[in-house]
Structure 1
Amino acid sequence: MSTGKKVLIVGPGFIGWNVLDLLVAEGYTVTGFVRRDEHAEQIKASGASAVMGDLGDKAKIAEQTVKHDIVFHTATADHLPSAEAILEGVKQRAMKGQSTIYIHTSGTSVLDDGAAGSIKSDKVYHDNEKSEIDSVPDDAPHREIDLAITKAQKELGEKAKIAIMIPPLIYGFNPNHKRLTIQIPTLTRFALKHGYAAHVGKGAAVESNIHVMDLARAYIVLLHHLEKASPAQTLENPYYFCESTGSNEPSWHDIATLIGESLHSAGKIQDPKPKELTENLYGDVFGPYTGAVIGLNSRSRAVRLRELGWKPREKDWKRSYIEDELPEILKEETGDFKGYQGTVAS
């Protein structure tokens, strides 16, 4: 149980709201930094407080960080100013002699090999081998933010405990929240609009995956570890993968096949067979980032979380899609769908 420490969650959305629920259940005092009044009311109903603001409001984020012992950033892996604001708040606390735990959310798109669906890679990254993660290019997706955080970690030394959670493809559905993830639902909406399921290139590339509830529990396991660990221990390696698949990762062709077969069975499309996604239609999925988002090889192993006692226990991606996500998507009006317009964490 919590010792009464105060927690700030920047962006308690699809991932962070689930983390928030678990923290509240353990007795932490939780504040969510949110953009919309509607969501503020939702997290208040979950037992947290809400502060209204935008990710670009660096002064406000830094101010809120100073007031909290623990900070999670779960809004996006691609917004440097908000991460810098949290780090500024952590530094201000350090100047007062106050230690902070900061857990940032990155994503395994940082491992993108540029395959664009052409091949399945044999390269697998392990989070207990820091050098493997540090071997990725500085201009890899999410890497700019990750490097800013690791630089600040070195500067702060033992004055803060900082970790970077790096989830892969996230799936799953919490019926209490009614929120869907990004990649597979976007591909499903594309299929509903165009009449076929699609994949980039040959669809041969593979990505590890994780159910959002298993991921939420992983954040709590990581938090408890950081609470107990010495500051010196946390400096050795900030990276934590979180995957449930092991070597049984689906290819993007496998994912498109399930989408096609499921929509065909539901009477929504005539042909269940997936097809290659042509570049002129990238705007109806992830725009110029399509190749990196749904054509990458991204194979990760959560060695460190398993060593801490975490284990996945939710439905696999296929069962979750058929039983939970697809029924929700079929309730939507997707005829005018024009692709996903936000950023993708994984």
Structure 2
Amino acid sequence: MTAKTSIFLTGATGYLGGSVLQRLLSHPEASSFEITALVRSAEKANLLETFGVKVLLGSHSELDKLEAAAASSDVVFAIADCDDLPAAKAILKGLRKRFTETGNAPILIHTVGLVVDNAEGKYATDNLYSDLDIAKIEALDSKQPHRWVDEVIAAADDEGYVRTHIILPSMVFGIASGPLFDKGISNPHSMGLPCMLAIGWHRRESGMVGPGKNIWPCVDIEDTADLYLILFDKARKDPSVAHGRNGYYFAENGHFAYYEIAQVVGQALVDSGRATSAAPTPFTKDDLDKYFAGATFLGTNSYCKAERSRALGWKPIKVKQDFLDSVLPEAWALIKNGRINDAFKIREAFERYADVY
């Protein structure tokens, strides 16, 4: 009898992690997978088990559990906190044990953020990063957000005990749907757009850093989940699929100026009766301190091209206009479920970037 492929996934109750898990559960080869998910909530763990998922009850801070789960896995999807270096090291430690026991290098598919600068919304950039231009990626300063984890993961691949692949989603949009979201197990909302809407709701006007000239890429949630599964299928069947220092995969399908999305957010606030003008205004220093712990991260540029991802066979469908069109439905959903009031929830995430941007 052929042994099942053991998969460990973090972030199952999240937006992206839940979307990827759903794809794994509906995969044509799902019956040959043994999936374990890290979950903090006992209630959600019980629900998840009804889908045939094994649950490891615990958190990212329980390093022994992460290590043990990785040591029992052929493939690990790390889709939780991309800046948690101790957690990443614990997973790698477990994967090293897996290699020692089996003689086969397991696969790690890690999730991280994109490359940014410190434009403070004052200008757009023409400094393009391609996921094929490894020399340019490798030249990034280790203080670049997320980079301190990337370097450790790439170094692990250098040692030969694991094949690492790093996916870098951009501004992911769209309300996630499906059984895991219908049951309330996974979060159907992204971080970026809901953050902008909630802060605009609290301010009663849309905001931006500076004049909002900076640009960012965007990508639909279903298109992003597609990339994870395409990479998963290719990597486990062909060890030559680019990994390690060559294994960066961007997820983007077009770029937008921050001012563009801020205007659409403003119109959504007007349409919902919260604001009287759709025109966005620059965040004041008090705004930045209040909502972002002083960070100007929303004023950064991120200009990239997902050339390696497309060469792998990834074919994203939704484009910038779909992103802009998603704003009003997202706003109404947040109003309905009360999350439109989460204006300060994002502050904790931005505190880690306050000293950088």
TM-score, normalized by length of structure 2?
A: 0.88
Structure 1 residue 336: Cα displacement: 7.2
Which of the residues 45, 56, 81 maps onto 1:40?
A: 45
Report the equivalent of 2:275: 269
Cα deviation per residue 1:265-289 (whole Å; 9 max; x = unaligned)? 2222112110000121124433233
Cα deviation per residue 1:8-54 (whole Å; 9 max; x = unaligned)? 00122111111111111120221111112233234334442211111
Distance 1:138 1:195 in 2: 38
Distance 1:161 1:91 in 2: 11
Please list every run of at least 4 consecutive aligned residues from structure 1 whose deviation after the TM superposition is greater than 6 angstroms: none
Change (3 A) 1:32 1:203: same
Structure 1 residue 190: Cα displacement: 1.1
Distance 1:236 1:281 in 2: 39
Change (3 A) 1:286 1:183: farther
Distance 1:76 1:308 in 2: 26
Would you say the 8 A contact 2:15–2:176 is kept in 1?
Answer: no
Alignment size in residue pairs: 335
Task: Name whichever of 44-53 and 139-148 sits farther off.
Answer: 44-53
Report the equivalent of 1:174: 176
Structure 1 residue 342: Cα displacement: 4.4
Change (3 A) 1:44 1:244: farther
Change (3 A) 1:205 1:231: same
Asked if 1:299 is matched to 2:300, the reply is: no
Cα deviation per residue 1:50-98 (whole Å; 9 max; x = unaligned)? 1111111111100001111100100021110111011001111111223
Report the equivalent of 1:106: 112
Change (3 A) 1:334 1:304: closer
Asked if 1:244 is matched to 2:248, the reply is: no
Provide the identity percentage: 27
Distance 2:95 2:135 in 1: 26
Would you say the 8 A contact 1:78–1:343 is kept in 2?
Answer: no
Distance 1:342 1:49 in 2: 30
Report the equivalent of 1:228: 237
SS at match of 1:33: strand
Distance 1:9 1:286 in 2: 29
Asked if 1:218 is matched to 2:227, the reply is: yes
Distance 1:121 1:240 in 2: 21
| Matched AA of 1:171 | F
- Match runs of 1:195-206 below 5 Å: 195-206=204-215
TM-score, normalized by length of structure 1?
A: 0.91
Report the equivalent of 1:260: 266
| Matched AA of 1:98 | N
Distance 1:175 1:254 in 2: 26
Cα deviation per residue 1:114-139 (whole Å; 9 max; x = unaligned)? 11111000111100111121122111
| Matched AA of 1:166 | L
Would you say the 8 A contact 2:268–2:327 is kept in 1?
Answer: no
Asked if 1:328 is matched to 2:323, the reply is: no
Asked if 1:120 is matched to 2:124, the reply is: yes
Report the equivalent of 1:136: 140
| Matched AA of 2:60 | L
| Matched AA of 1:261 | Q
SS at match of 1:77: coil
Structure 1 residue 231: Cα displacement: 5.2
Distance 1:216 1:142 in 2: 21
| Matched AA of 2:26 | A
Would you say the 8 A contact 1:160–1:231 is kept in 2?
Answer: no
Would you say the 8 A contact 1:213–1:314 is kept in 2?
Answer: no
Distance 2:327 2:50 in 1: 27
Change (3 A) 1:106 1:94: same
Distance 2:252 2:342 in 1: 34
Change (3 A) 1:233 1:273: closer
| Matched AA of 1:73 | A
Distance 2:349 2:343 in 1: 16
Asked if 1:281 is matched to 2:281, the reply is: no
Report the equivalent of 1:82: 87
Q: Mind listing any 5+ residue stretches in structure 1 that lack a counterpart?
A: none
Q: Mind listing any 5+ residue stretches in structure 2 that lack a counterpart?
A: 182-186
Report the equivalent of 2:15: 14
| Matched AA of 1:15 | L
- Match runs of 1:314-325 below 5 Å: 314=318, 316-323=322-329, 325=330
Change (3 A) 1:38 1:288: farther
Distance 1:74 1:16 in 2: 5
Distance 1:336 1:9 in 2: 27
| Matched AA of 1:23 | L
Change (3 A) 1:77 1:333: closer
